[in-house]
A and B are shown apart, each in its own frame.
Chain A
Amino acid sequence: MNTFNSFKTYVKKEIIEGMRTKKFLVLAIGVLFFAISDPIMLKLLPEILKNEMQGADLSMLLELSQKAALDSYTNNLFQLSTLIIVLSMMGIISKERSDKTLTIPVSMGCSINGMVSAKLLVYGVFILLINVVGMLVAYYYSGIIFGFTYGSLFAAAVSGAVYGLFFVFVLSILILASSFVKKSFLAVTVTLLFVYLMPLAGNFERVKRYLPVNLLSEANYFADFLSKNMVVSLICTIGLTVIFSVLSVFKLERVEFV
């Protein structure tokens, strides 16, 4: 059996699934919506608040700049897009297990390694790309509205890629959790707790730079170059993603798909 051809088959299957079950669409909306809505919301906020807070000097309360618009977008990416990504991908393994759609392929010798790798590759690449696009849209749109006063287009692309990489790491946690539990909501709960509680560990200065969530703090600087801290976080994130994927395969190869 040609391993590469088989891997291509799993990739093709994931692409078909992503398109027909509208997963790609949900993921794209979950990221791009905030890229478009955040700059315009920030622009309209003084108008909205003007009627509510008559006489108040809003310029003292609100920072109306490209940086503020990008900060708002990156906040939403971590808080809301994580939720949307995890919820839309919740069945990535669990659904295949609970719906027993893997029974026939496994009885015919389907490679678990190939299947997990294909899922991570297809959705990982899509999430990475959509985050780069989202950050470029947010950068360009906020620049048009408030003026290009912060970072650069290249820095925005790098920042988007870093966010994308973080979400690929989140996906690997979800896959690992799904390999242990059959119920999707349990896998989602474990993943969200892990992701949302990770910033707490950042309070310990010694471990901070090794945490994947530190990538986001570094990405928010919109620097044209990769800082030393970001490189360390990047290596740790990629390393953990690989470890989680290997563990998922190891666990799933011992699961009875019936």
Chain B
Amino acid sequence: MIKIENLTKNYGRHKVLMGVNAEVKEGEVYGFIGHNGAGKSTTMNILAGLIGFDKGKCIINGRNIQSKSNRANNEVGYLPEDPKFYPYMNALEYLEFIGSMKGYTKKQIGEKTEKMLDMVKLSKAAKRVIGGYSRGMKQRLGIAVAMYNDPELLLLDEPSSALDPEGRIDVVEIISKLKSQGKTIFLSTHILNDIERVCDRVGILNNGQIVLEENIHQLMKRYIQPVYDIEFDGAVNEEQFRILREADYVEKVNFDGSKADIWIRNFEQNSTKLLKLISDINIPVISINLRKNSLEEIFLKVVK
């Protein structure tokens, strides 16, 4: 669906993108993450056809969008980071303006507008002027506009940043719904929790380049720490502690009363052995957790 090859963009002497390579497959939700100012919005604006680029290739649906005539406005829906609308219009008028600009008939505009307002839960506020909308409402209206053409590809630039928790949940729910409809979504954000919830793959942009691109589940698995945090029902006696510590695959054991942190070698092979050993030495267990790295921790490790 999207193929970015060696994409370069400079603003004067300032190099923003220095050979970005990324690929987004059809029906995939791709999380595009990076620090503020890493070049996420620049990449999004290039993909939306709003700005040009210096070198490289940007292919959307098989078409190189370097040429303006090749930009497929009907196939791409774009939500800017801070969507701006005409404040004197209401949502109904704005969507009608968009529909009419795209050349739909009155009947189509009526149906589409109603459907979009319903999807983003703005039907009740449809006749209020946009100038009086909250940031979350504007964001939802932006998604409705981006979805108006029923595009195959959606470019969402920081859709949930600067929103309150309720607004964020609403936006993430809308994205999940669009994902279930089979839309391809290129999602830029620095709220990594959202990425974990909706994305299939993730690309990390750092210093103008993609430094990591991977399936999110594989990525989380790869960065799993080989540590079990175990809480026992009561204190562990000396003998039980010795058996655990002396197992050849146990690297380190930290005990704090009834709690233990156990590091093991060769995690994939030995994790079942450890669980069996705990069962064999007959210590009642209250909880056992594999310590996971959050995407935030992975991101920080990768960009360091």
Q: B102 contacts A104, CB within 8 Å?
A: no
How many chain A residues touch B (Cβ–Cβ < 8 Å)? 27
* Interface pair B101/A104, CB less than 8 Å apart: no
Cα A90 to Cα B8 in complex, Å, equals: 36
A16:B149 contact, CB within 8 angstroms: no
Of A105-113, A154-162, A190-198, the one with at least 4 CB within 8 A of chain B:
A105-113
A63 within 8 A of B: no
Q: How big is chain B's contact interface, by range?
A: 20 to 34
A104 is contacted by which of B49, B83, B89, B149 (Cβ under 8 Å)?
A: B83
Task: Let me know if B142 is at the binding interface, CB within 8 A.
Answer: yes
A-contact bits for B141-158, CB 8 A (1 contact / 0 none): 010010011000000000
| Contact digits for A98-138, partner B, Cβ 8 Å, 1 yes 0 no | 01110111111110000000000000000000000000000
A2 to B50, CA, bound (A): 22
Task: Kindly state the separation between the CA atoms of A207 and B129 in the bound complex, as whole angstroms.
Answer: 50
A256 to B101, CA, bound (A): 20
* Chain A contacts with B in 5-40, Cβ cutoff 8 A: 5-6, 8-10, 12-13, 16-17, 20-21
* 0/1 string, B78-102, CB within 8 A of A gives 1: 1010111110110001000110111
Cα distance, A107 to B48, chains bound together (Å): 6
B45 is an interface residue with CB less than 8 A from chain A: yes
Any B CB within 8 A of the CB of A258: yes
Closest B residue to A110 by CB, please name it: B101
> Closest CB of chain A to B73's CB: distance in Å?
3
Q: Is the CB of B86 within 8 A of A108?
A: no
B99 nearest CB across to chain A (Å): 9
Whether the pair A5, B100 counts as a contact (CB closer than 8 A) is yes
Specify which of B51, B82, B98 is in contact with A256 (CB 8 Å cutoff): B51
Q: Is A13 within 8 A of B86, CB to CB?
A: yes
Q: Give the docked Cα–Cα distance between A95 and B97 (Å).
A: 19
Complex contacts, B82 vs chain A, CB 8 Å: 100
What are the residues of chain A within 8 A of B80 when measuring CB–CB?
100, 103-104, 107, 258
Indicate if B74 sits at the interface (CB-CB under 8 A): yes
Q: CB-nearest residue of chain B relative to A22?
A: B88
Closest chain B CB from A258 CB (angstroms):
5
**A13, B80: Cα distance in complex, Å:** 21
What is the CA–CA distance of A6 and B51 in the complex, to the nearest angstrom?
23
B86 near A101: Cβ-Cβ < 8 Å = yes
- A8's nearest neighbour on chain B, judged by CB, is B100
Point out the residues of chain B lying under 8 angstroms from A150, CB to CB. Answer: none
Distance from B36 Cβ to chain A, minimum over Cβ atoms (Å): 16
Please give me the residue from chain B that is nearest to A1 by CB atom: B103
Instruction: Determine whether the beta carbon of A2 is less than 8 Å from that of B86.
Output: no
A5 touches B103 (CB 8 A): yes
Given A1-B103, A5-B100, A106-B50: A17 and B88 interface contact (C-beta under 8 Å): yes
B41 to A, closest residue via Cβ:
A258
Distance in Å: Cβ of B126 to nearest Cβ of chain A:
16
* Chain A neighbourhood of B74, CB < 8 A: 109
Q: Cβ of A257 < 8 Å from any Cβ of B?
A: yes
Contact A16:B88 (CB < 8 A) given known A100-B80, A103-B50, A104-B80: yes
Say whether, besides A20-B88, A100-B84, A103-B80, A108 and B103 are in contact (CB < 8 Å): no
- Distance between Cα atoms of A12 and B100 in the complex (Å): 10
Expressed in whole angstroms, the minimum distance between the Cβ of B28 and any Cβ of chain A is 21
- Contact partner, B101, options A6, A16, A99, A100, Cβ 8 Å: A6
Q: Are B85 and A108 interface neighbours, CB within 8 A? A: no
- For B88, give the chain A residue with the smallest CB separation: A20
Q: Which residues of B are found within 8 Å of A13, using beta-carbon distances?
A: 86, 97
7 contacts across the A-B interface (CB closer than 8 A): A9-B97, A12-B97, A99-B84, A104-B98, A104-B142, A105-B98, A107-B50
B contact set with A: CB distance below 8 Å: 41, 45, 48-52, 73-74, 76, 78, 80, 82-86, 88-89, 93, 97-98, 100-103, 142, 145, 148-149
Identify the A interface with B (CB < 8 A). Answer: 1-2, 5-6, 8-10, 12-13, 16-17, 20-21, 99-101, 103-110, 256-258
9 shortest interchain CB distances as A-B pairs: A109-B73, A1-B103, A20-B88, A9-B100, A107-B78, A100-B84, A256-B51, A107-B48, A2-B103
